């Protein structure tokens, strides 16, 4: 069986690593390993140095849909897993399914839940899903008029895909005005900022909820907490995520039930009613206020860095779960998660989430396992001399697992301390929220 994973980040490294470990693919074999029934060959596109320990990396960009489709056909790939949002928004899954190919990831219609925040707000309204009050604006002047009425604090969101950087939680009207100016006047987010959503600010606890979802049902994963702000204490600009932890301090059986009944069940019913097929992961970014969950955003794929935690806890064979989704049978598929605690610490390059450095030597990667943790590569590249260098804003993740959140923190941060590169930045407060 030939399996292709699209992407090059920590999420994709976590997916490849989990499949390889489930199926007995030997580390550094480069190509294949065997499970009980067949030979499994793993490919990644474009991959990264960490992924290359288990899979053959193919240097095709994730947005080059035509080239990806051609390569899949030419190489007779059996199953494709789409990691990032961009190829989903470009319709990669639709193109592959039209050729009779099995693919994990929603089509372009389902991906609109992430690719357009205004669209997502509309479908949430139609489904009766709790979400903050909002206004959709298409010009700076219109946005300023809404701001004059609503005041601050307020959340300013670029409508389209902006790699996690198109959201400003504005505490003052001046800050909100600057965000509107950046989107409309400076075109800081390109076409993604041509429409902006101005959203009511909610003071609560941010929680990530993920579910495997197909056309007949869904199965929820454990709740996870991301840390979006770049600095300790939730200070500084928003990022794609500085680290994740599970369990979440406010998690309860009642909250999990509310999330399933008020969010996942309702959105699944609405997608079916509107004739939108969905086979993949649905991610709900929530703000929980007094144990009531409100949807801040939907993502149409595995979260990053949430995946790193979820897959560490998943006790079942990942590839079998993903295949069940493509057969519309995930609701009946066995799904078990460990009760352990997991912490994923993200190390970023100097300057991120703004302009950041590339090409710095990363040292200590081989020392992390001695702390009981492991590394997932994100923005890394292999240099001509065989060294691993920084090549992105979020450079790498270190994952630690323990019987308690304290133990997981000690393991994860202990592993991260063994890694060094110029300008390395991490948040030191993961798992300390109450």
CATH architecture of 2-104: 3-Layer(aba) Sandwich (3.40)
* Predicted model pTM: 0.94
pLDDT bracket for residue 333 (50, 70, 90): very high
The string of DSSP codes covering 418-430 is T-B-TT-B--S-T
Is 399 in a helix, a strand, or coil? strand
Domains 133-200 and 205-332 share a fold: no
Confidence (pLDDT) at 336: 97
Average pLDDT, the chain: 94
pLDDT surpasses 50 at 32 = no
CATH 2.60.40.10 fits 205-332, yes or no: no
pLDDT for res 191 = 84
CB atoms within 10 A of CB 180: 24
Give the integer Cα–Cα distance in Å for 200 and 135: 9
- Give the sign of the dihedral formed by CA 156, CA 158, CA 159, CA 161: negative
Superfamily of the domain at 133-200: ATP-grasp fold, A domain (3.30.1490.20)
Instruction: Quote the CA–CA distance of 195 and 120 in Å, as a whole number.
Output: 13
Query: pLDDT category, 327, cuts 50, 70, 90?
Result: very high
Q: Quick check: helix, strand or coil at residue 159?
A: coil
- Report in angstroms the alpha-carbon separations of 40 from 33, 54, 57, 418: 6, 11, 15, 33
Which tens digit of pLDDT belongs to each residue from 56-74? 999 999 999 999 999 999 9
Q: Domain 341-416 falls in which CATH fold?
A: 3.90.600
């Amino acid at each position: 069986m030939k399996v292709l994973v699209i992407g090059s980040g920590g999420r994709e490294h976590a997916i490849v690593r989990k499949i390889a470990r489930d199926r007995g693919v030997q580390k550094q074999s480069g190509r294949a390993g065997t499970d009980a029934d067949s030979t499994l060959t793993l490919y990644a596109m474009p991959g990264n140095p960490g992924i290359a320990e288990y899979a053959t990396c193919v240097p095709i960009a994730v947005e080059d849909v035509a080239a990806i489709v051609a390569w899949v056909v030419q190489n007779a790939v059996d199953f494709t897993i789409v990691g990032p949002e961009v190829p989903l928004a470009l319709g990669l899954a639709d193109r592959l399914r039209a050729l009779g190919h099995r693919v994990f990831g929603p089509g372009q219609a389902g991906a609109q839940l992430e690719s357009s925040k205004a669209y997502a707000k509309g479908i949430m309204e139609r489904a009766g899903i709790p979400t903050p009050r909002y206004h959709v604006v298409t010009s700076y002047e219109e946005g300023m008029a809404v701001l004059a009425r609503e005041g601050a604090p307020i959340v300013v969101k670029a409508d389209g895909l902006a790699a996690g950087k198109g959201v400003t939680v504005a505490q003052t009207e001046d800050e909100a005005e600057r965000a509107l100016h950046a989107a409309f006047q400076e075109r800081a987010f390109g076409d993604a900022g041509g429409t902006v959503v101005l959203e009511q600010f909610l003071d609560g606890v941010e929680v990530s909820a993920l579910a495997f979802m197909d056309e007949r049902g869904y199965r929820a994963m454990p709740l996870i907490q991301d840390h979006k702000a770049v600095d300790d204490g939730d200070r500084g600009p928003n990022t794609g995520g500085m680290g994740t932890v599970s369990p979440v301090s406010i998690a309860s059986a009642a909250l999990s039930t509310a999330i399933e009944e008020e969010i996942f069940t309702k959105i699944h019913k609405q997608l079916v009613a509107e004739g939108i097929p969905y086979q993949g992961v649905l991610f709900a970014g929530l703000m929980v206020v007094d144990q009531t969950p409100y949807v801040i955003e939907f993502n149409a794929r595995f979260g990053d860095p949430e995946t790193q935690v979820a897959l560490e806890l998943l006790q079942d064979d990942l590839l079998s779960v993903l295949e069940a989704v493509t057969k519309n049978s995930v609701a009946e598929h066995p799904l078990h998660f460990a009760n352990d605690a997991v912490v994923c610490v993200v190390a970023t390059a100097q300057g991120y989430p703004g302009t950041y450095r590339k090409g710095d030597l990363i040292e200590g990667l081989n020392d992390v396992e001695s702390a009981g943790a492991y590394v997932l590569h994100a923005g890394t590249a292999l240099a001509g001399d065989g060294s691993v260098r920084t090549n992105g804003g979020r450079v790498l993740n270190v994952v630690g697992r323990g019987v308690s959140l304290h133990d997981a923190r000690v393991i994860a941060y202990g592993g991260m301390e063994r890694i060094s590169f110029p300008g390395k930045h991490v948040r030191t407060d993961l798992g300390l929220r109450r």
